[in-house]
Amino acid sequence: MDIDKKRCVGCGNCVPWCTMGVISIGPDHKAEVNTEECVECNNCYRCLPSEGRNPTLVRVIRRILRIFRLSYDAPLDVCPTGALSPPDLKWPRFVRRAFSDPEAPRTSAQFDSDPGAPFAAFGGRGTGEIKGNDVTGRLKLGEVGIVIELGRPGLGARLREFEKVTRALAPLGVFFEPQNPLTVLIKGLNTGEMDPLIVDEKVLSAIIEIRVKEIQVKEVLNALRRVQGDLATVMSIGIAARCKSDSSVEYPAPAIEAGFTLSLNGKCNVGLGRPLYEERKI
Amino acid sequence: MTNTLHRRGTPEELEHDYVVKCFPAGKQEGLPEKIAIFRRIASSHQPVNARLPNGTVREVNEFVFDNPQAVKSVLSELKAADLGISIVVSGLIERVRTCCRDVGLPFHTVEHSLGVLGRTENLPSTGIVEIASLCGHGMVSFNLIEKMVYQVKLGRLTPRQASIYLAKPCTCGSFNPARAEAILERLRARS
């Protein structure tokens, strides 16, 4: 995010909206962004529309009010002078926005600076996962999907943290979901090595999405437990499977054996999509 | 996207937190009309929040409800409408299972959260993380939540007013302002 110091009046409104907590009021009494830690989510820009005030006028009025020990606080969700603006990002920094901003474009338009950038065709942090599984049949009986979202909740993560996890998982023979935008950044699917050009980029969160056989669940979850001590951030883990005819799934037992507790809440595809994958195959 | 998978809270609180979304997978004839019917059905059962994208019809539409009875009614009407669009419900799994059983729908695919590993010591207090978990993309910053808690404690904002501010960054519409309000009430009472 760019903050125009000529326009900023130092009201501090943008500070709490920053998802990474990297906007602060500097010694010059104006807002500044730690660009090294900014994930380009555009949250501040989106949530604080400009009031369109003249910066000089605002500063003069504030000084006058201060003489009388008065102050005027603008509403919490505006930028009085429109000092915020999203920068035009080039590869590889655009990776930050692609994973962190839910409104980021999902086409290659932003990648014109480098048409060879590997995930030009992708956007977002993951895939539809189980949402359309009744139609797509991506997760079949006997398979288990595991989603590992690094940086969530609220801490963010460098892509080198993802590499620690992919390197731990790759030797186990897991299947990295090819439609997942992070998978495209993995240079060696057998080793888990990521594109070195992007490992220092930081994102709000992104998802490693894998498919394994039921028999592998415990081994994979144990690997995640082992690698967690090497991480500088957090990871939220999810597990999914196609239900059997009695609506049950097989993964609770190995997950519990690996020391995990299943949440009481979760996501359920209720099978209303048509044509059902199984019917389509017939 | 793990979106609504990692919502946190006690069973009593989660009792008031359900998300119903439609996901147009595969080829669909007459998709705009089907989406319109989904929206009409879901919006007729008093959702507390919604995402109704204006762009491509293939985007996810979602509605947030604060009670399982509404979810059951929505599912019943969706089953009768037979739109052929994938429907996903997030919430207490046993509660959703009961809703499905009552309207004659089996679970097709299910997903659980296994919690958070790693540097959990860097996370703020439970109430703050609970509110943050209500946004599917994690756009509600810890600092904003803490600021809102502070404003509520000072009496500058009511929990309801604060929950409206907190819902603003959530572009996916899965934020549950009713639950956020209840959590803010709890955090205010704790001061």
| Residues of chain A neighbouring B129 (CB-CB closer than 8 A) | 153-154
Is A202 in CB contact (< 8 Å) with chain B? no
> ∠ CA(B29), CA(B30), CA(B33), 5° rounding?
150
How far is residue B48's CA from residue B34's CA, in Å, rounded to a whole number? 22
Contact: A273, B118; criterion CB under 8 Å: no
pLDDT score for A280: 65
Contact: A47, B6; criterion CB under 8 Å: no
**DSSP bridge partners of A122:** none
Please, which residues have CB within 8 angstroms of residue A195's CB and are 6 or more apart in sequence? A118, A185, A186, A187
Average pLDDT of span B164-188: 94
* Burial of residue A175 (number of CB atoms within 10 Å: 0-12, 13-18, 19+): middle
For the ranges A12-16, A272-276, B65-69, B127-131, which has the lowest average pLDDT? A272-276
pLDDT score for A116: 52
Q: What six digits make up the tokens of A71?
A: 């102050």
Q: What are the tens digits of pLDDT across the range B99-125?
A: 999 999 989 999 999 999 999 999 999
| Residues of chain A neighbouring B172 (CB-CB closer than 8 A) | 102
- Please give, rounded to a whole number of angstroms, the shortest distance from the CA of A222 to a CA of chain B: 12
pLDDT score for A105: 72
**Cβ(A166)–Cβ(A201) below 8 Å:** no
The pLDDT averaged over each successive group of 10 residues in chain A (282 residues) is 96 97 97 97 97 94 92 88 94 90 66 49 65 89 96 97 98 93 90 94 96 97 97 97 92 97 96 82 55
**Cβ(A274)–Cβ(A171) below 8 Å:** no
How far is residue A208's CA from residue A146's CA, in Å, rounded to a whole number? 8
- Please give, rounded to a whole number of angstroms, the shortest distance from the CA of A194 to a CA of chain B: 20
Helices B177-190, B159-167: inter-axial angle, 10-degree rounding: 130
How far is residue A92's CA from residue A135's CA, in Å, rounded to a whole number? 35
pLDDT score for A206: 94
The amino acid present at B53, given as its one-letter code, is P
| Residues of chain A neighbouring B137 (CB-CB closer than 8 A) | 102, 125, 204-205
- Please give, rounded to a whole number of angstroms, the shortest distance from the CA of B133 to a CA of chain A: 7
Write the residue in A224, A240, A274 that is nearest to B111 by C-beta. Answer: A240
Q: What are the tens digits of pLDDT across the range B162-175?
A: 999 999 999 888 99
pLDDT tier for residue B185 given thresholds of 50, 70 and 90: very high
* Residue in chain A lying closest to B109 (CA): A242
How far is residue A30's CA from residue A5's CA, in Å, rounded to a whole number? 7
**DSSP bridge partners of A194:** A186
* Residue in chain B lying closest to A270 (CA): B107
Give the DSSP H/E element, type plus range, for residue B37: helix B31-43
| Residues of chain A neighbouring B141 (CB-CB closer than 8 A) | 16-21, 43, 154
Neighbouring C-alpha atoms within 13 Å toward the C-beta of A250: 16
Whole-model pTM above 0.90? yes
For B128-159, give the DSSP string.
HHHHHTTSTT--S-HHHHHHHHHHHHTTSS-H
- DSSP 3-state of A34: coil
**Cβ(A149)–Cβ(B4) below 8 Å:** no
How far is residue A161's CA from residue A232's CA, in Å, rounded to a whole number? 7
How far is residue B26's CA from residue B66's CA, in Å, rounded to a whole number? 30
**Cβ(A40)–Cβ(A46) below 8 Å:** no
Using alpha carbons, select from A120, A107, A126, A99 the residue that is nearest to residue A41. Answer: A99
Give the DSSP H/E element, type plus range, for residue A266: strand A265-269
Contact: A270, B105; criterion CB under 8 Å: yes
Helices (H), A140-202: 159-169
For chains A and B, CB pairs below 8 A equal: 270
Q: How far does chain A reach from its first CA to its final CA, in angstroms? A: 52
pLDDT score for A108: 44
How far is residue A22's CA from residue A92's CA, in Å, rounded to a whole number? 20
Distance of CA A211 to the CA centre of its chain: 20
Phi and psi (nearest 5°) for A106? Answer: -105, 25
Contact: B123, A153; criterion CB under 8 Å: yes
Using alpha carbons, select from B163, B136, B139 the residue that is nearest to residue B149. Answer: B163
| Residues of chain B neighbouring A261 (CB-CB closer than 8 A) | 114-115
Average pLDDT of span B36-59: 86
- Please give, rounded to a whole number of angstroms, the shortest distance from the CA of B85 to a CA of chain A: 4
pLDDT score for A113: 45
A154, A204, A229, B186 from B183: Cα distances, Å: 18, 24, 31, 5
A21, B51, B61, B168, B171 from B39: Cα distances, Å: 36, 10, 8, 21, 17
Contact: B115, A152; criterion CB under 8 Å: no
Give the DSSP H/E element, type plus range, for residue A94: helix A94-100
- Please give, rounded to a whole number of angstroms, the shortest distance from the CA of A216 to a CA of chain B: 16
Window 133-152 of A, Cβ < 8 Å to B: 133-136, 139, 145, 147, 149-152
**Cβ(B16)–Cβ(B31) below 8 Å:** no
Contact: B115, A237; criterion CB under 8 Å: yes
pLDDT score for B57: 58
**DSSP bridge partners of B22:** B61, B87
pLDDT score for A110: 43
